[in-house]
């Protein structure tokens, strides 16, 4: 009787998605498939089941439940990506000037992205808005998949790993900030006030806890109470809510909070618990749901989208050509691998597609092509990166990186 009052049918999407993730993990184990970029396959699974899944969810009026699962996975992914930022590249003196090199790559990429957006000027009515949105779409990198993949492959502490992670952090943060600023300007003074509150809360928490360390003290006084975990999740939800109320992107708050929390050095148990919940349950479901958002039937039926999709995909990848700046230190294979992984984009591109449709800048054909192109960059380039990128042992023994050691 109690279960009937809480509408148990709302558990169906969760059961379906968890079942898919469990079957996927089991098949990887049974067939001994060694793949680090598992998110690529999860997105692909989402595309395959999308037509059936979306029809089922719509017919049972469960869109809200699915959206909640999507947002939870997304927020946890961006928070953990922000936390994975490596501040040591700023503090330590490396053999390679990582920060300076990455900033140069980033600036050149933005120039190329701006130039690429001009390619579509005749396609739209509102040219200034289109240029801004398309520049942000081309110039972003999905740190949420790039940074975890670098860690999973065991190259996070190597030169290439640090360069990739630093570039992904800067590129995604700049694009999210740019997109949030764009939306806040569109919304006006109310949005700006909410954003100011978000910034003040994050800075205030950083300063207060750094001075008094009150969270850790309460944790030590009340062992087993998981106070740090409660505080972290509470602040995460508040910051995400305020970021959304500002009219900007709610993922901005999650990403920034993760970056700030890294400086506070929370208990390892707190982060481990969030990682287990995130990477173990909600984040895999998020990637499957990401795939279901592609209308594969519409794409197949409308052949006019195909050429546009190919052009957009190539431009997203080609604007990352500034990676050739690394030729001074690395070989062509490594540089191509870096170029592939920093081409991963989807989140900002999805947001751009949504904004473009709502402002009547994009028609449905262009929006769908942009969405499919961003999905392709999260499936093929990561798999190429995993296949081509030298592992840590290869780097050490085969001298792929010309003897340079970033840990020296």
Determine the CATH number of domain 64-275+308-398.
Answer: 1.20.1530.20
Residue 398 CB: number of other CB atoms within 10 A?
A: 10
What value does the mean pLDDT take over residues 114-141?
Answer: 81
- Asked if 352 and 134 count as a contact pair (C-beta separation under 8 A), the reply is yes
Local structure of residue 294 (DSSP, 8 states): S
Q: How far is 407 from 257, CA to CA, in rounded Å? A: 28
Q: How far are the Cα atoms of 325, 326, 346 from residue 405, in angstroms, in the given order? A: 18, 15, 32
9 against 336, higher pLDDT: 336
How confident is the model at residue 317, as a pLDDT?
92
* pTM score of the predicted model: 0.83
How confident is the model at residue 105, as a pLDDT?
93
Q: How far are the Cα atoms of 148, 177, 395 from residue 382, in angstroms, in the given order? A: 12, 25, 19
Residue 379 CB: number of other CB atoms within 10 A?
A: 19
Q: How far is CA 406 from the centre of its chain?
A: 26
Mean pLDDT of the chain: 79
End-to-end CA distance of the chain: 65
How confident is the model at residue 32, as a pLDDT?
76
Residue 4 pLDDT more than 70? no
How confident is the model at residue 210, as a pLDDT?
63
239 pLDDT band, cuts 50/70/90, is confident
What value does the mean pLDDT take over residues 215-243?
Answer: 73
Tokens at 208, concatenated: 């207060």
Helices 380-388, 38-59: crossing angle, 10 deg rounding: 160
Residue 130 pLDDT more than 60? yes
132 pLDDT band, cuts 50/70/90, is confident
Is 378 exposed, middle or buried, given 0-12, 13-18 or 19+ CB atoms closer than 10 A?
Answer: buried
List all residues 6 or more positions away from 248 whose beta carbon is below 8 Å from its beta carbon. Answer: 179, 180, 181, 183, 184, 191, 195
Residue 20 pLDDT more than 90? no
Residue 95 pLDDT more than 70? no
**DSSP line for 117-131:** HHTTGGG-S-HHHHH
How confident is the model at residue 316, as a pLDDT?
92
Tokens at 51, concatenated: 């037509």
Is 293 exposed, middle or buried, given 0-12, 13-18 or 19+ CB atoms closer than 10 A?
Answer: middle
**DSSP line for 25-54:** HHHHHHTT---S-HHHHHHHHHHHHHHHHH
Least-confidence region, from 16-25, 206-215, 244-253: 206-215
216 against 241, higher pLDDT: 241
List all residues 6 or more positions away from 3 whose beta carbon is below 8 Å from its beta carbon. Answer: none
pLDDT digits (tens, 9 = 90+) for 319-368: 999 999 888 888 888 899 999 999 988 878 888 887 877 777 788 888 88
């Amino acid at each position: 009787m109690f279960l009937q009052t809480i509408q148990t049918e709302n558990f169906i999407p969760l059961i379906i998605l968890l079942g898919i993730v469990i079957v996927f993990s089991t098949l990887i184990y049974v067939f001994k498939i060694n793949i680090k970029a598992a998110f690529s396959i999860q997105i692909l699974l989402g595309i395959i089941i999308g037509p059936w899944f979306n029809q089922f969810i719509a017919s049972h009026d469960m869109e809200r439940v699915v959206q909640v699962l999507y947002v939870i996975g997304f927020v946890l992914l961006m928070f953990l990506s922000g936390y994975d930022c490596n501040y040591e590249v700023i503090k330590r003196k490396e053999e390679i000037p990582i920060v300076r090199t990455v900033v140069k790559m980033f600036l050149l990429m933005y120039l190329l992205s701006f130039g690429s957006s001009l390619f579509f000027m005749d396609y739209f009515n509102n040219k200034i808005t289109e240029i801004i949105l398309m520049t942000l779409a081309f110039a972003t990198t999905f740190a949420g998949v790039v940074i975890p993949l670098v860690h999973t492959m065991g190259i996070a502490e190597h030169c290439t790993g640090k360069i990739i992670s630093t570039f992904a952090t800067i590129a995604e943060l700049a694009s999210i900030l740019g997109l949030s600023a764009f939306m806040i300007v569109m919304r006006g003074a109310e949005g700006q006030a909410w954003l100011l509150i978000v910034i003040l809360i994050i800075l205030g928490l950083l300063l207060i806890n750094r001075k008094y360390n009150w969270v850790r003290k309460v944790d030590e006084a009340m062992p087993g109470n998981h106070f740090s975990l409660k505080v972290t999740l509470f602040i995460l939800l508040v910051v995400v809510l305020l970021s959304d109320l500002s009219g900007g992107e709610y993922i901005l708050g999650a990403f920034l909070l993760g970056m700030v929390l890294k400086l506070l050095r929370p208990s390892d148990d707190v982060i481990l618990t969030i990682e287990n919940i995130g990477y173990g349950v909600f984040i895999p479901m998020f990637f499957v749901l990401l795939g279901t958002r592609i209308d594969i039937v519409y794409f197949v039926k409308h052949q006019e989208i195909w050429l546009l999709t190919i052009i957009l995909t190539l431009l997203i990848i080609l604007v990352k050509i500034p990676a050739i700046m690394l030729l001074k230190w690395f070989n062509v294979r490594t540089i191509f691998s870096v170029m592939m992984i920093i081409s991963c984009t989807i989140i900002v591109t999805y947001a751009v597609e949504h904004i473009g449709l709502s402002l009547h800048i994009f028609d449905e054909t262009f929006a769908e092509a942009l969405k499919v192109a961003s999905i392709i960059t999260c499936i093929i380039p990561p798999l190429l990166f995993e296949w081509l990128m030298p592992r840590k042992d290869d780097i050490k023994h085969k001298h792929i990186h010309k003897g340079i050691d970033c840990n020296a």
